[in-house]
Amino acid sequence: MQINKDITMFKELRENIESLIIETQPWIKQKSINESSIRTEELRKLLLKLNGIVANETQKRSVFRLKQEIDILDVQVENIYSKREAGKKQDGNIAFKCNWNDKNYRAPCSEEAYNSNLIEGRSWCNHQSGACRNYSDEVTLEKNPCYESIALKEMYFGAGWDTSGPVIKYRKLHSVKTKRLAILTTRRPFTDENDRIIVGVLYINRIIDDDGAETKIFGDKGKSMAIDLDKTNLKFWDYYKNPNAEDKIFWGAGLVRYISNGTVLGILNDMNKKFSRNGTDNNIVNQLINHYECLKG
């Protein structure tokens, strides 16, 4: 009886996902980023539940098929977002959506963190080219499995790759500038989007945008910093609001969001207060505050 109940539960949840995929497609055709992203976020949550009740290889293949369909939707929404943002005047700051890494973004994550990223459908973690389990903690800029493994060791991040198709496509960034900040954000495993936290900031001193490769962002190691999550908790959504949908908290598709100088200054000011309270050295953050106050002035 229990087996039949589990099969029925899997079937109903799978059908709900399939229906929501169909429901999302017209919103993408209408180029509605907000409505599309809300639905792709819900699809990821449902897929996570479905993956949690997989009992055999047939069901596992079904989950993989649905994941591929959702990945394609994500890419389509991101393409709409990228084209729309490309034509706007931006301040040059950027926020990155990072996968969870429990090695402080200085080495490949632990087996536990890796497995949580797999379950949550992180694209690169699930891609066969990742092979991160073959790397030791001694990663370098030239030899590493992912951005997250070296982000706060090398003060570096990139625009990522589209892995939804048979051929990897390199992504480009628009409206990012030197002498601005790249904000690194993440979610702890199995938390909601409103719990997205800031793990570090890169003061951009170099951008490489060569043909045939993704856009690469390099931070000045003397002006960039990691944030100790045990001491300082900064929630990204306390500062950033979605354009045209300020009351809705969702990231949805895409690796990046472009943010204003004013938003960055708000983050830095709160960071400075929290650093002062918990005894963290705030020399770098004060330098950054002075820089952004000059930009605003």
Checking if the pLDDT of 128 tops 70, the result is no
Checking if the pLDDT of 253 tops 70, the result is no
Over residues 201-229, mean pLDDT: 95
Query: What's the confidence (pLDDT) of residue 246?
Result: 62
Over residues 116-137, mean pLDDT: 79
Q: What is the mean pLDDT of the chain?
A: 88
Among 225, 73, 256, which residue's Cα sits nearest to residue 159? 256
- Cβ(178)–Cβ(219) below 8 Å: no
Q: CA 290, 292, 297: angle at the middle one, nearest 5? A: 95
**In the chain, % of residues over pLDDT 90:** 57
Q: CA 283, 287, 219: angle at the middle one, nearest 5? A: 95
167-171, 193-197, 275-279: the lowest-pLDDT one: 167-171
Query: What's the confidence (pLDDT) of residue 35?
Result: 86
Query: What's the confidence (pLDDT) of residue 100?
Result: 95
Query: What's the confidence (pLDDT) of residue 247?
Result: 67
Residue 236 has, within 13 A of its CA and on its CB side, a CA count of 30
Query: What's the confidence (pLDDT) of residue 105?
Result: 97
Checking if the pLDDT of 34 tops 90, the result is no
**CA 263 to chain CA mean position, Å:** 18
Query: What's the confidence (pLDDT) of residue 37?
Result: 83
Query: What's the confidence (pLDDT) of residue 165?
Result: 64
In terms of average pLDDT, the best of 55-59, 76-80, 167-171 is 55-59
Over residues 260-273, mean pLDDT: 95
Checking if the pLDDT of 162 tops 80, the result is no
Query: What's the confidence (pLDDT) of residue 2?
Result: 64
Over residues 199-215, mean pLDDT: 94
Query: What's the confidence (pLDDT) of residue 245?
Result: 61
The alpha carbons of the chain give a radius of gyration, in whole angstroms, of 20
Over residues 219-230, mean pLDDT: 96
| β partners of residue 226 | 200
Checking if the pLDDT of 221 tops 70, the result is yes
CA distances from 146 to 99, 107, 108, 260 (A): 10, 9, 8, 27
CA distances from 58 to 11, 64, 115, 126, 242 (A): 12, 10, 21, 18, 39
Instruction: Tell me which DSSP letter residue 142 carries.
Output: S
45-59, 138-152, 195-209, 248-262: the lowest-pLDDT one: 248-262
Query: What's the confidence (pLDDT) of residue 27?
Result: 93
6-20, 194-208, 235-249, 273-287: the lowest-pLDDT one: 235-249
Is the pTM for the entire model greater than 0.85? no
Query: What's the confidence (pLDDT) of residue 156?
Result: 97
Query: What's the confidence (pLDDT) of residue 97?
Result: 94
